[in-house]
Amino acid sequence: MDFIGENLVPGQLGHFFILISLIASLAATVAYFFSAQKTNPDDKLKWRNLARIFFIAETISIVSIFAILFFIISNHLFEYKYAWQHSSRSLEMKYLLSCFWEGQEGSFLLWSFWHCILGLVIMKKEKLWEAPVMTVVSFMQFCLATMIAGIAFLNLKIGSNPFVLLRNELEAPIFSRPDYLMMVQDGNDLNPLLQNYWMVIHPPVLFLGFAATLIPFAYAISGLWKRDFTGWVKPALPWALFAAAVLGLGIAMGAAWAYESLNFGGYWAWDPVENASLVPWLILIAGIHTMLIFRHTGNALRASFLFILLSFLLVLYSTYLTRSGDLQETSVHAFTDLGMKWQLRTFLLLFLLPSAIFYIQRYKNIPFIKKEEESSSREFLMFIGSLVFFLSALTIILMTSLPVINKIASAFAGEGTELFKPLAFGEDTAFAYNRIQIFVAIIIGLLTAISQYFKYKSTPKAFVTRKLLYPAIASVVIGALILAFGNINYDEYGIGYLGAIWFAIVAAVFTIIANAAYIWIGLKGKLKISGGSIAHLGFGLMLLGVLISSSKKEVLSYNTSGILINFGKESKEKPGENLTLIKGVRTDMGKYWVTYEKEESHPEKPLWFYHLRFETKDGKENFVLKPNAFVNYKGNEGLMANPDAKHYWSHDIFTYITSLPDPEKNKDTASFRTETIKVGDTLFYSKGYAVLDNINSRDNIPQPGFKPTDSATIATLKVYAKSQSLFTMEPLLVNKGGQLSSYPDTLIAENLVVQLQNIRGNEAEFGIKESDSVMQYVTLKAYNFPYINLLWLGILIMVVGLIMSTIRRVQLNRVPVHKI
């Protein structure tokens, strides 16, 4: 059957380039492998040149696939499932790129694209290590190419192709018609939570960070493979620093997106997908410090191999966790299962097994110094810090993997048997993590503060005491002032946890002051060589921002309206901490008056922005926040909401919608009752009474569509509510061509509708209706986040410090070895 309107050429080209990518990446892997294995220089060169051709072909293929897929999405070619599933005609242009990373296929493609760019850099800059390193990179490219291949082999599906046609993937009667595209008028749209500017830039940066972790891993594997156990560290160190900077920035962007788009009330919730990106970063930071130890002392080489290998392996494990579907019930933004669990597991094992075998086989041959480090040396403190990072990451990944651990255990023991009871965190998942990580923060804060004051190999105690004395005194004083006047009394989990928070705050202050002093005194203000200290200073600011903004986060929206919303048993929202705002009614919220003024709908989507006016009671501030919310949009059950915040240098006012009237449960079944009264008489309703103030009639209405004989009558009612509020209602009755049309007035705050039905002399006939369905309201959650900008500033400074260190290491690597 010939289908009308289908544009099959882009898909055919896409299939072609996917095939080229698959073949070229495998060919590049083989050619680079032979180049690395050959001992004859001419043979090495021939294989290397051939490998380069294949890798460039792979790069061209990936770029072409990317461009074709963007063409399909941007031109709304809904005959392709990927365009239909992840985009729509109403989607703003700036979010079209976000459609790529909503789907698994597009995110694999993005990952592969960054490998191509990094591979080209290695081909241009690297000489000695190109062949073994690019063997690993090319093999990774081959594995990623299989993820978008979409090939069926021996009843197994290998990958998911982004160019499949909608009619071949979905079963529906319309696909039996040649003109089915006439009925596919629009796509399924992009998840509204991803329609945020952070989701345009966060995934590319994060995936660049993931891709960059491959490079130091490839150097480490090459070192083990070629038995050059020490030479790999020098070229790998700048790459490790670059990967840490970019991956850290990507994680921070994700936190900023969560802060602006997710309604869990913050920037970090220990969500499994968040943890899956954090853990490789922690291990990578540990590996960077052990590599620095080795470069200066010759120690910690075995640990460097371990941490660098694990950093990338944990990226792959995180990929499995977030894409296998195992975390769908525990994560707000994990991918759904595309039926590729076995492929994801194979992907992980293809890198895990060779790495483990190489490391175990070569372990005894890796050089190490038998003499233990002095406890008064910089390398000793750095190693302890690396070990703490490692143990922290191990704890987080084990806790994150509980759903997987439970599945494995239940498979052996049998579900529902007494042999196995699923492990769980309890009701407070965040505290389960925080009560461990708070002590990690204390230790790392202290080590980050003092380690740079120590010298490698050995440091006189008097020297350290003298250098650290003034920073320590200043830190204790400033920390004490923060604790004394900052009102940090977060005792929700007891005095012990509060004490740990206090200690961590002082440690963070110590980190900031000690590193700032070291830049000024130890390095004499030479910023060019201060990358490490700047990164540590930024880490201290970030830590202080986390501690203060989280421990002093204040609920502003305590219920003063008297309207309690039942959020259901599964909700963590507390009715007493949510304020219901009735439209048009100014409501008391602490130091603010808050008024729900109006709502503004998206022109093409079931999405509403709620205008909430905040006025301080002293009259000094007046601003409007516009959080949005939507119900049952794109298959999501219940209410979904995007927060809005007012930013100050010292705090944020953070708001989001927690409840809206349900239109299905809020249908109007009330009817009008009729009453006839004269001017000055009273009408009663359940919440008060209304007095007919006057009746005004007018002929010759000066409006288009009215004749001179037409007339209009308006009745003015003064409404006295039991709440002691006074309102005015003005229902209208129009006589147009002898036909009476009534225009009722609605008093939302009182759930009251009044209709002027007739006028007989000085008497007016009214229809009165009371109905809960006329009340328009939103329920609001509002927080005060104090000093959250310390967090964002700290992250930015830390990333800048890591980039400075990367540049410094690249410059040092250009210096001949004997001059280092």
pLDDT digits (tens, 9 = 90+) for 504-530: 999 999 999 999 999 988 788 788 889
d(CA 99, CA 74): 10
Flag whether 358 is in a domain.
Answer: yes
Residue 292 has which token pair? 């620095």
Confidence of residue 551 (pLDDT cuts 50, 70, 90): confident
Check whether residue 605 and residue 729 sit in a common domain: no
d(CA 248, CA 803): 11
User: What is the per-residue pLDDT for 818?
Assistant: 39
Strand partners, 207: none
Check whether residue 209 and residue 188 sit in a common domain: no
d(CA 528, CA 17): 45
Full residue range of the structural domain in which residue 265 is found: 200-425
Say yes or no to pLDDT of 404 above 90: no
- Three-state DSSP at 767 gives strand
Strand partners, 782: 655
Tell me what the pLDDT averaged over the chain comes to. Answer: 87
Closest among 601, 572, 632 to 781, alpha carbons compared: 572
Say yes or no to pLDDT of 250 above 70: yes
d(CA 32, CA 50): 8
* Helix H or strand E segment including 702: none
pLDDT digits (tens, 9 = 90+) for 357-389: 999 999 999 998 877 777 888 899 999 999 999
Lowest mean pLDDT among 131-140, 576-585, 616-625, 767-776: 767-776
* Helix H or strand E segment including 365: none
Kindly calculate the radius of gyration of the chain based on its CA atoms and give it in whole angstroms.
33
Lowest mean pLDDT among 74-78, 430-434, 741-745, 771-775: 771-775
User: What is the per-residue pLDDT for 819?
Assistant: 33
462 neighbors 455 (Cβ within 8 angstroms):
no
At 363, the amino acid letter reads Y
Closest among 480, 784, 544, 540 to 650, alpha carbons compared: 784
Flag whether 560 is in a domain.
Answer: no
CA angle 659, 661, 662 (to 5 degrees): 105
Domain termination residue (choose one: 157, 178, 195): 195
Q: Which residue has the higher pLDDT, 66 or 586?
A: 66
Check whether residue 335 and residue 404 sit in a common domain: yes
Domain termination residue (choose one: 173, 195, 217): 195
Flag whether 410 is in a domain.
Answer: yes
- Selection from 150-164, 544-558, 572-586, 797-811 with the highest mean pLDDT: 797-811
Q: Which residue has the higher pLDDT, 542 or 455?
A: 542
Say yes or no to pLDDT of 567 above 80: no
Strand partners, 656: 781
Check whether residue 286 and residue 178 sit in a common domain: no
Say yes or no to pLDDT of 30 above 60: yes
Check whether residue 299 and residue 434 sit in a common domain: no
* Helix H or strand E segment including 779: strand 777-786
Closest among 57, 50, 92, 60 to 74, alpha carbons compared: 92
Check whether residue 207 and residue 326 sit in a common domain: yes
Domain termination residue (choose one: 604, 626, 660): 660
Pairing of strands 726-729, 639-642: unpaired
What HEC string does 346-360 produce?
Answer: HHHHHHHHHHHHHHH
Check whether residue 184 and residue 204 sit in a common domain: no
392 neighbors 440 (Cβ within 8 angstroms):
yes
Check whether residue 100 and residue 60 sit in a common domain: yes
Q: Of all residues in the chain, what percent carry a pLDDT higher than 70?
A: 91
pLDDT digits (tens, 9 = 90+) for 3-17: 888 999 999 999 999
pLDDT digits (tens, 9 = 90+) for 696-735: 887 766 656 667 778 888 899 999 988 788 889 988 888 8
* Burial class (CB within 10 angstroms; exposed 0-12, middle 13-18, buried 19+) of 25: buried
d(CA 281, CA 708): 79
Flag whether 166 is in a domain.
Answer: yes
803 neighbors 245 (Cβ within 8 angstroms):
yes
787 neighbors 547 (Cβ within 8 angstroms):
no
Pairing of strands 639-642, 752-760: unpaired
Flag whether 813 is in a domain.
Answer: no
584 neighbors 678 (Cβ within 8 angstroms):
no
d(CA 156, CA 102): 24
- Tokens 């492929």 sit at which residue? 343
Closest among 177, 152, 122 to 4, alpha carbons compared: 177
Check whether residue 205 and residue 354 sit in a common domain: yes
User: What is the per-residue pLDDT for 410?
Assistant: 67
CA angle 806, 807, 813 (to 5 degrees): 90
**Alpha-carbon separation of residue 119 from 106, 123, 213, 611, 790 (angstroms):** 20, 6, 13, 49, 36
Q: State in Å, rounded, how far the first CA of the chain is from the last one.
A: 71
pLDDT digits (tens, 9 = 90+) for 181-220: 988 888 888 887 788 888 889 999 999 999 999 999 999 9
Check whether residue 204 and residue 79 sit in a common domain: no
The count of residues in the chain is 820
Residues sharing a CB contact under 8 Å with residue 175, sequence separation 6 or more, in sequence order: 166, 167
Closest among 58, 61, 84, 62 to 73, alpha carbons compared: 84
pLDDT digits (tens, 9 = 90+) for 774-820: 567 889 999 998 999 999 999 999 999 999 999 999 998 886 543 32
Confidence of residue 662 (pLDDT cuts 50, 70, 90): low
pLDDT digits (tens, 9 = 90+) for 42-75: 999 999 999 999 999 999 999 999 999 999 999 9
* Burial class (CB within 10 angstroms; exposed 0-12, middle 13-18, buried 19+) of 494: exposed
Check whether residue 334 and residue 482 sit in a common domain: no
Pairing of strands 628-631, 644-647: unpaired
83 neighbors 77 (Cβ within 8 angstroms):
yes
Number of structural domains found in the chain? 5
Flag whether 204 is in a domain.
Answer: yes
| Residue-wise DSSP of 408-441 | HHHHHH-TTSTT-------S-HHHHHHHHHHHHH
d(CA 376, CA 222): 34
Say yes or no to pLDDT of 138 above 80: yes
| Residue-wise DSSP of 679-709 | TT-EEEETTEEEEEEEEEEEES--STT--TT
User: What is the per-residue pLDDT for 789?
Assistant: 92
pLDDT digits (tens, 9 = 90+) for 525-535: 788 889 999 99
CA angle 263, 336, 89 (to 5 degrees): 75
Residues sharing a CB contact under 8 Å with residue 752, sequence separation 6 or more, in sequence order: 685, 687, 719, 729, 746, 768, 769, 770, 774
Flag whether 782 is in a domain.
Answer: no
- Three-state DSSP at 319 gives helix
Flag whether 819 is in a domain.
Answer: no
Confidence of residue 411 (pLDDT cuts 50, 70, 90): low
